Amino acid sequence: MNRGKNGKNMNESPKRFGTFDGVFTPTILTIIGVIMYLRLGWVVGNTGFLGALLIILLAHVATLTTGLAMASMTTNVKIGDGGFYSLISRSLGLEVGGAIGISLYISQTLSVALYIVGFTEVWVSIFPKHSPRIVSSVVLIGILALSMISAKVVMKFQYIIMLIILFSLLSFFLGKSSGEYNPLLWSSHSSVSFWVVFAVFFPAVTGISAGAAMSGELKNPRKNIPIGMLSAIGIGFLIYVVSAFWLNTHATQAQLISDNLIMGDLARWKWAIIAGIMGATLSSALGSILGAPRILTALGQDRVIPFSSVWEKRSRTGEPRYSLVMTAVIVETSILLGDLNSIAPLLTMFFLITYGMINIAVFFEKVIGITSFRPSFKVPAFVSFVGGAWCFTIMFLINPLFAFLSFVVIATFYFIQVKRELKAPWGDIRSALFNSISEWAAKTSSKMPQTAKNWKPNLMIPVEEPKNWNCLIGFIKDIVFPKGTVRLFSVIIRDEEIGTITKNIANFFFHRNEDSYYPGDPKKRKKLEKEMNELIEPIKKVGIFSTSMVVEAPGFLDGLHIITQVMKGMFFPPNIMFLTMSSNREKDKKLEQLIAISIEERLGLLVMGVHKTVRLGNGKTINLWLRDKSPNQNLAALITIELNRTWDKLRLIRVTPNKKRLKYENDDLLRIKDEARLPSNIELIVLVGDFFEILDKEAPSADINIFGISGKMDLDNMHKIVNLTGTSCLFAKDSGAEDFLV
């Protein structure tokens, strides 16, 4: 960390600006820009005063709701550098914030170039012999030099520009028309559609990010941003409305449409309007060149972009000089390449996405009702929702192609950030948001009947020794992929003798109550939890919902019983108990007890007998043995269908003791294949003879054989089947909620 002599972090933003100089001034000067001077008359001429008023109102819906959302968020969290980026990343996460922040930085940087080019066009109209590119480059060097010295110098320079703009407006309102004109309330004969006019006007109000970008250097952002931004939006709105009214009552429709400098023609001193236009473009460029590098610096501080350690650095006076230089290089390159007008709509889209996301973030925080959202400036949820929806709607009204492209660009940035697995030191609302959605979905789902049509494999798996399950975790993943769930759990068995000794010692020395609870060995628990997490990691990596837990109980079966009952009472409860059958027959007694618990809790049951040498072979071929009218064929068939998503070959096999039934059994398998919508390449086989003899001598080779358990659970026969087939076998027992023919 870069620290000065006094131990202060040199990369921290100095707190040096208040409401007026830090927020209001850059915001109002960016709002009162060239659109007002050069396009407001054209807007009034094409739509009439009421049409222009409607356009101004609709445009300000986006900025006002965003300003209100900003006010709400800044009074709830400690805002850092980067303005909008800081708030979005701390609300919707670093990935979303990073994607928006990068786009916002690009748009604000290129806005500097656009404003400089606008200034240059006015300058060259006065001095036609001057080279536009040289003028633009000189202006860039000038504003860069001011910014490098100190943001305070820029702010003082903007006071001069504000006075020039105020004087130009005074000149405009003191002017007189050359004749009397009937005010045009609504134009119905314009050759330009209402929404095209709106698209031309809207960039006039996209300047509110200029003040927000200084967030990290404000003395009291919780107070400065709400007051400064909302007052700038309100005053800007009044200036536009009054100016539109004045233009409508002092010029003809033809003059308003054809003369871009109509404000100058109507003003008492035309040169004041020219100075105002130049001052407006210059102030917008200054506001953006102050804001853009600070977004880059904030991105660097959060390690969102390459070479972050460079961009996060600040000078001793608190200026992000490396970020300023980088921004100036991009601006100069853009000026030299030219044709910035072609990408101007894309920049507007980036601003609109940012505004929309700020509104949506506030809407979500309000709706999900998290305790941490306690802003002192409260905004109704519907206001933020309307603001967000309107911002996204405006994008497509202005330019559908650029709206689509902007979403593609931001989505690309987002997935890059997700892939980088960034870690933010702060929390965000995403988990609360998804929890809220899950709670709503769970409550809604619980009111609806649960049918076989809704079935999917939700496994609960008791694990004694995690290391013994490594060979099966891939198989379990294949069963539940892509939408099933897995819940692994294990039990730490309490040592009653040690527990008694511990309790007696504690009672003697600390006068504890004799019935106090004393936990088991924490080291043993931690080790087991780590092993369980490592075991389930391959399933989590493919996006399957999976959890692991460790509980403490007097015995493994006690723990299993408790966990099963708890899980059955959860939302989205498990519907299958997955057990393994050990080749050590001494463990059959415990397996029988586990099976009894599963049956008692009305869970589907899968018992896996792993062959000690071949295990799961190549993991490609499945034999499903379906006995005619078996009471447990549904779960066996459903698990086979799930496995067949990732395994290559499937056989449906039936055994009949009577050759006379051969045709019937074949036809029945064909019926099942058709009704169950099984793959067309499935192989149907009917074998005649004794079931166990066929398993021993005629069973087609496979990597796993799947059986529905017949009648009473007979572990002797299950062990026998594993030995006869020479493969791993899966035995299934229905719970009564499955039906593979639906």
How confident is the model over 90-113, as a mean pLDDT?
A: 85
Q: Residue 74: CB partners within 8 Å, gap ≥ 6?
A: 87, 215, 221, 222, 225, 226, 377
Residues 222, 363: one domain?
yes
Q: What does the block give as tokens for 505?
A: 């010692």
Residues 530, 615: one domain?
no
Q: What does the block give as tokens for 250?
A: 């002092």
Q: Residue 163: enclosing H or E segment and its boundaries? A: helix 151-174
At 96 the pLDDT is 84
Backbone phi, then psi, for 622, in 5-degree steps?
-120, 130
DSSP-derived secondary structure for 6-43: TS-BTTSPP--B-HIIIIIHHHHHHHSSHHHHHTHHHH
Whether residue 170 lies inside any domain: the answer is yes
Residues 280, 168: one domain?
yes
How confident is the model over 412-430, as a mean pLDDT?
A: 74
Whether residue 712 lies inside any domain: the answer is yes
The answer to whether 477 touches 542, Cβ cutoff 8 Å, is yes
In 464-618, which ranges are E strands? 485-493, 545-553, 576-581, 604-609
Cis preceding-peptide flag for 482 (omega within 30 of 0): yes
The answer to whether 656 touches 688, Cβ cutoff 8 Å, is yes
203 versus 40: the higher-pLDDT residue is 40
Residues 480, 414: one domain?
no
- The span from the CA of 84 to the CA of 351, in Å, is 10
At 1 the pLDDT is 43
Whether residue 432 lies inside any domain: the answer is no
- The span from the CA of 655 to the CA of 418, in Å, is 52
Whether residue 214 lies inside any domain: the answer is yes
Residues 410, 457: one domain?
no
Among residues 75, 43, 11, which one has the least CA distance to residue 313? 11
Residues 491, 627: one domain?
no
pLDDT over 50 at 512, yes or no: no
Residues 361, 477: one domain?
no
Q: Residue 402: CB partners within 8 Å, gap ≥ 6?
A: 345, 346, 348, 349, 395
- The span from the CA of 709 to the CA of 49, in Å, is 81
DSSP-derived secondary structure for 38-97: HTHHHHHHHHHHHHHHHHHHHHHHHHHHHHHHHHHHHTTS---TTTHHHHHHHHH-HHHH
Q: What is the pLDDT of residues 321-349, one digit of tens each?
A: 889 999 999 999 888 887 666 677 778 88
Residues 227, 364: one domain?
yes
Angle at alpha carbon of residue 105, lines to 99 and 107, rounded to 5°: 100
pLDDT over 60 at 267, yes or no: yes
The sign one gets for the Cα dihedral 88, 93, 96, 99 is positive
Q: What is the pLDDT of residues 148-173, one digit of tens each?
A: 887 777 778 888 989 999 999 999 99
Last residue within a domain, chosen from 533, 555, 574 = 574
Residues 490, 559: one domain?
yes
Among residues 275, 88, 268, which one has the least CA distance to residue 170? 268
Q: Which of 3-17, 617-631, 653-667 has the lowest mean pLDDT?
A: 3-17
Which residue range is the domain that position 546 belongs to? 449-574
CA distances in angstroms from 388 to 83, 384, 394, 524, listed in the order given = 18, 6, 10, 51
At 701 the pLDDT is 92
Last residue within a domain, chosen from 527, 556, 574 = 574
Overall domain count for the chain: 3
Whether residue 506 lies inside any domain: the answer is yes
Whether residue 427 lies inside any domain: the answer is no
How confident is the model over 233-244, as a mean pLDDT?
A: 94
The winner for highest mean pLDDT among 516-520, 522-526, 644-648 is: 644-648
Sheet of 621-625: strand order equals 545-553, 485-493, 458-462, 576-581, 604-609, 728-733, 704-708, 621-625, 649-656, 683-688
DSSP class of 3: B
For the entire predicted model, the pTM comes to 0.67
Q: Which of 69-73, 178-182, 475-479, 581-585 has the lowest mean pLDDT?
A: 178-182
Residues 490, 370: one domain?
no
Looking only at the bridges linking them, the beta strands covering 604-609 and 728-733 are antiparallel
pLDDT over 60 at 499, yes or no: no
Whether residue 519 lies inside any domain: the answer is yes
Q: What is the pLDDT of residues 372-415, one digit of tens each?
A: 778 888 899 999 999 999 999 999 988 898 899 989 988 898 88
42 versus 13: the higher-pLDDT residue is 42
pLDDT over 80 at 252, yes or no: yes
5 pLDDT band (50/70/90 cuts)? Answer: very low
* Domain CATH code at residue 544: 3.40.50
Residues 332, 238: one domain?
yes
At 7 the pLDDT is 43
- The span from the CA of 679 to the CA of 694, in Å, is 25
How confident is the model over 463-487, as a mean pLDDT?
A: 90
Residue 587 CB neighbour total at 10 angstroms: 13
At 57 the pLDDT is 95
Q: In whole numbers, what is the pLDDT of the chain averaged over residues?
A: 84
* Domain CATH code at residue 698: 3.40.50.620
The answer to whether 494 touches 554, Cβ cutoff 8 Å, is yes
Residues 35, 86: one domain?
yes
Last residue within a domain, chosen from 559, 574, 589 = 574
- The secondary structure of 83-97, three-state, reads CHHHHHHHHHCHHHH
Whether residue 582 lies inside any domain: the answer is no
4 pLDDT band (50/70/90 cuts)? Answer: very low
How confident is the model over 495-523, as a mean pLDDT?
A: 49
